[in-house]
Structure 1
Amino acid sequence: MKSKHILLTAIITISGMACGKDYLQLDNPNQQRVTTFWKTENDALMSVNAVYQALYYDGTFMRFAQCALDLRGDDMMSPSPWDVLSNTGSFKLFNNTIMQQWLWIAFYGGVTRANFVLANIDKVPFKDQNLYKRLKGEALFLRGLHYYYLVTFFNNIPLITKFYEQQEEYYPAQVAPAVLWDQVYQDFDEASKLLPVSYAGADLGRATRGAALAFLGKSYLFNKKYELASAKFKEVMGMGGYELMDNYGDNFTEAFENNRESIFEVQFSREAGGITLGWVSSPGADWSKTTARAITFGPAPFGWNDAAPTQWIVDEFKKEKTKTGGDDPRLQATIYYNYPGCKLYGQSFQTVYAAEPGKLGVKKYGNGDGKVPDEKDWRSGVNERLMRYADVLLMYAECENELDHRAECAKYIQRVRNRANLPDRETEFAALTQEQMRDRIAHERALEFALEGHRFDDLRRWGWLQNATRLAELKVHDPEFNSFVPGREFFSIPQAEIDVNKNLKQNTGY
């Protein structure tokens, strides 16, 4: 079941302050103001819903966040004729492009909305203290989530934790990334103590304790705090309720959304809202709550073919056969390619691509199961899974390797492999050295999360972009890495922001 409740948009407008007592103040009695809002529990609920709304912009998970996360990995490349996307994949984005600008605007917009909630929620006379704790926890989680993506995209950014009403206060300087990460840790940690374990009915899909703990662990892992990260992943695993889905492909379709493997996903729906697409502007009641990932990543002629798998990731899938001698089943769940019986949008792959049998297309998060003829209406309802239980298991395994617990690491690697019916190699893996296990983890994560936006962040936190040998490997995997310049593991600070805020300094490499 897909939640419709949190897809509703709360549009809150803050009116300008009066210029002085000698001026006539003409307030619109039909427009909410800070002084008239924050009176009821429903006001607080609407405000938290508005923070979720920030996840539906084109600059967040309607489209651009997925492009920013996916296109820079060696598992995906961009053949797009639109230079904004092709240059993202080849690290050629310079100072003033809409990729950086829209990411910055949309994710900071989510921060602002969360700050608005946290600055005002205590004004509401809650009768239901559980609702109060939950809503505050959701706002903290969502602020932490938006900052998590901002710091991983840009690294050197301002930290804003207050809701400012005066324009002159909107020109903060950047803080050290460690300071930003400390805020992310704090937000996720506080949220984990306030959020419920699960929801039901209309509230299904809201942030849970497991989501806060999982992202807290991932944030620690990003910064090599392995003991802290391991402890948080253990908490998630000890909660119960989470398990791998039997069928790997069920994690990427509408049919099995909010399933037992899902820890947090962005709720999209063709039935909620209107049909107007959500760009980076003030939201309207007619806005669609859909995603453009499917049309953007879908192979031509069904979609725009702005993204495509690399041959390297296909070959990586084929390195090891299943127990029955077949290809890893995750390959066919992830990629359209030339194999017997391959169908997409009700048509035979061999027929559609007779002139290019080596064609590779993105299958994950698409609608190519035959129910629609193509992706050309922009509006997909497939939820974006930002955190799966499989990620928790493999991140925990990674922590255990770094803590010299190889047997424990091997156990959880094999647990994920079992779903793909791959041979049991737990004993073999347990005997690996730490460095050999790092290579094994890199391989296993590449297959489990191919085309899901995890690969580039993995490469960056492992230090591969700063290692000449590893970078040479990446260039073989994906020639787009030939134009990588040190410093461009992060996006540039949008030039338009620097022009307005003289306290901002450009990232290195630009």
Structure 2
Amino acid sequence: MKKITVIGALFLSMIQFSCSDDMLVTTDPTRIGSELFYKNETQLQQALNGVYGSLQTITNTAYIFQEFPSDNTTLDFNPLDRGGAAGWEAFEFSTVNQGNGEIATVWNQYYAMMYNINYALEKMAGSTVDAAAKAPIEGQLKFIRAYGYFNLVQYFGDVVLVTKTLDKPDAAFDLTRSPQAEVWAQIEKDLKEAVTLLPATYPTAQLGRVTKGAALALLGKTYLTQKKYADAVTTLKQVTGYTLNPLYADNFNPAKKNGPESIFEIQYQGGNDLGEQSSFAYTFAPRLSAGAVTGYANTTPGGRNIPTNDLIAAYEPGDLRKDVSLKTSYTLNGTVVPIPYIIKFTYPHTITGRTDNNWPVLRYADVLLMLAESINEATGPSAEAFDYLNQVRKRAGLAAVSGLDKVALRDAIMKERRVELAFENQRWFDLRRTKTPAELTAFMNAYGAKEKAKPTVDRGGIAFNALDYVYTDNEYYLPIPAPQILISSKLTQNPGY
């Protein structure tokens, strides 16, 4: 696999550097150069595995950008350590600015991954490897590129769209942000091509790789996000071969990974020293809970992604998903501490800090709810739309809904998505998809007012900052990282930053 070092900028991660013959060139005899790599199927698979590894890195902090900004989660406030106030905490309190380090990091992570994808695709195109062997690898790479831009365009709006490597450094400084329409068109193109290249299933040893069903599901979500409802319905109905797990908890149990409901999930492996583990249980546990939540006392939990009072109240009485997803307190040394926390990703494990939980990206329940939404938006309430919604509710132990008009059914679907997909990095994009910037501003300010009046977690006597939970229209998009603007004068900043 070709390793790319990111030096604080998109541009350096886009460029394939070359040296003239008269420059001093040394070769490390222990390493395989890129000119000798990508020659057989094994090497192509190794390059692909490296891209999957990039997905792990990106997913480790995706909650910061996809849950924290929403009304789903908050943080276990630490009055003695305000080191995160300018970084990850800013996403909770709506105080993000262009100098935020988390934004700079995620930008570089995505574009480093894009470079590796583009480079692998180019080298693979010239490879003599059998076309039948290359097809699924190409399909996986194009799906992951589409998934990356699916997130980037919703984070930043217009983004730099690059689908090939650059061979001269100067060319990087001519790159500009492409309009969102062009980015969405590229996402659709990659996913349509992936559908034709990917298999429906893999052998057991390769479970977890991107399938045709995953490409169709993300393509359907792409159409839904753009309000192309008829296309979304047609595409999502092609996502077949999946079924809801009988038990909601089976979706998150490490012993039942990649089950019948799983369409695509980020793969992790704990219990060893391979460095492929997840650690969400530690990140999300209350910060002073020690081992009360994780089972290992000599740790310092992160206290991040704490379920809000607002979300907890959204569960209907008798909803079986609530006790699988969260707890409202923990007990330490015989004392009950009333701080909620996520348990969806908390399971027994054998090594401190190394959990075995995968991260769900696309589940069949998501597809069913997208179908209900798309049908309702395209043609209004129908028996079919209610059926898709009620399949999800039935598994949750809830009564079927019926007889709602279009607006009421829209609200019911959104509420169902909120609790069904809670803490799976869906909420912020759902809010953005279903609300205009002005509507989202009013919604988030109303939520912020409730959280300030009655915080989910005690703040230890520290008052809210005057800017906390003051959401403005421009926050519909994140700012372009300040280092990128400084590096290239051709990059423009989003309004309001």
Aligned residue for 1:35, secondary structure, equals helix
TM norm structure 1: 0.84
2:68 is matched with which residue?
Answer: 71
Query: Which amino acid in structure 1 is aligned with residue 303 of structure 2?
Result: N
Over 6 Å off, 4+ runs = 12-15
Query: Which amino acid in structure 1 is aligned with residue 315 of structure 2?
Result: F
1:336 is matched with which residue?
Answer: 327
2:463 is matched with which residue?
Answer: none
1:313 is matched with which residue?
Answer: 311
TM norm structure 2: 0.86
1:91 paired to 2:66:
no
Pair 49,10 (structure 1): closer, same or farther in 2 beyond 3 Å: farther
1:457 paired to 2:429:
yes
Paired residues of 1:85 and 1:306 also in contact (CA < 8 A): no
Q: Distance in 2 between matches of 1:390 and 1:420?
A: 11
Q: Distance in 1 between matches of 2:141 and 2:16?
A: 22
Structure 1 residue 56: deviation in Å? 2.3
Paired residues of 2:306 and 2:341 also in contact (CA < 8 A): yes
Aligned residue for 2:360, secondary structure, equals strand
Pair 265,497 (structure 1): closer, same or farther in 2 beyond 3 Å: same
Pair 190,459 (structure 1): closer, same or farther in 2 beyond 3 Å: same
Query: Which amino acid in structure 1 is aligned with residue 34 of structure 2?
Result: V
Pair 264,317 (structure 1): closer, same or farther in 2 beyond 3 Å: same
Q: Distance in 1 between matches of 2:116 and 2:259?
A: 28
Pair 397,476 (structure 1): closer, same or farther in 2 beyond 3 Å: farther
Structure 1 residue 76: deviation in Å? 0.9
Pair 208,477 (structure 1): closer, same or farther in 2 beyond 3 Å: farther
Structure 1 residue 38: deviation in Å? 2.5
1:110 paired to 2:113:
yes
Q: Distance in 1 between matches of 2:366 and 2:100?
A: 32
Paired residues of 2:438 and 2:473 also in contact (CA < 8 A): yes
2:157 is matched with which residue?
Answer: 155
1:5 is matched with which residue?
Answer: none
Query: Which amino acid in structure 2 is aligned with residue 403 of structure 1?
Result: A
1:137 is matched with which residue?
Answer: 139
Structure 1 residue 17: deviation in Å? 2.2
Aligned residue for 2:31, secondary structure, equals coil
Pair 399,193 (structure 1): closer, same or farther in 2 beyond 3 Å: same
Q: Distance in 2 between matches of 1:262 and 1:478?
A: 34
Q: Which runs of 5 or more structure 1 residues have no equivalent in the other structure?
A: 1-8, 275-287, 322-326, 339-348
Structure 1 residue 317: deviation in Å? 0.5
Pair 46,198 (structure 1): closer, same or farther in 2 beyond 3 Å: same
1:218 paired to 2:221:
yes
1:17 is matched with which residue?
Answer: 18
2:409 is matched with which residue?
Answer: 437
| CA-to-aligned-CA distance 1:315-365 (integer Å, 9 cap, x gap) | 1103xx3xxxxx211111111125xxxxxxxxxx45668354x42111121
Q: Tell me the C-alpha RMSD between the 2 structures.
A: 2.3
Structure 1 residue 142: deviation in Å? 1.0
Structure 1 residue 293: deviation in Å? 2.3
Query: Which amino acid in structure 2 is aligned with residue 94 of structure 1?
Result: N
Aligned residue for 1:416, secondary structure, equals helix
Query: Which amino acid in structure 1 is aligned with residue 368 of structure 2?
Result: L
Q: Distance in 1 between matches of 2:394 and 2:211?
A: 27
Aligned residue for 1:483, secondary structure, equals coil
Aligned residue for 1:255, secondary structure, equals helix
1:181 paired to 2:184:
yes
Pair 216,352 (structure 1): closer, same or farther in 2 beyond 3 Å: farther
Q: Distance in 1 between matches of 2:29 and 2:256?
A: 45
1:341 is matched with which residue?
Answer: none
Structure 1 residue 37: deviation in Å? 2.1
Query: Which amino acid in structure 1 is aligned with residue 188 of structure 2?
Result: Y
Structure 1 residue 163: deviation in Å? 1.3
Paired residues of 1:116 and 1:163 also in contact (CA < 8 A): yes
Paired residues of 1:459 and 1:465 also in contact (CA < 8 A): no
Structure 1 residue 256: deviation in Å? 1.3
2:391 is matched with which residue?
Answer: 415
Structure 1 residue 183: deviation in Å? 0.6
Q: Distance in 2 between matches of 1:29 and 1:409?
A: 61
Structure 1 residue 23: deviation in Å? 4.3
Pair 24,312 (structure 1): closer, same or farther in 2 beyond 3 Å: closer
Q: Distance in 1 between matches of 2:245 and 2:191?
A: 26
| CA-to-aligned-CA distance 1:118-176 (integer Å, 9 cap, x gap) | 1111222123x322111111111111111111111111210001012322222310011
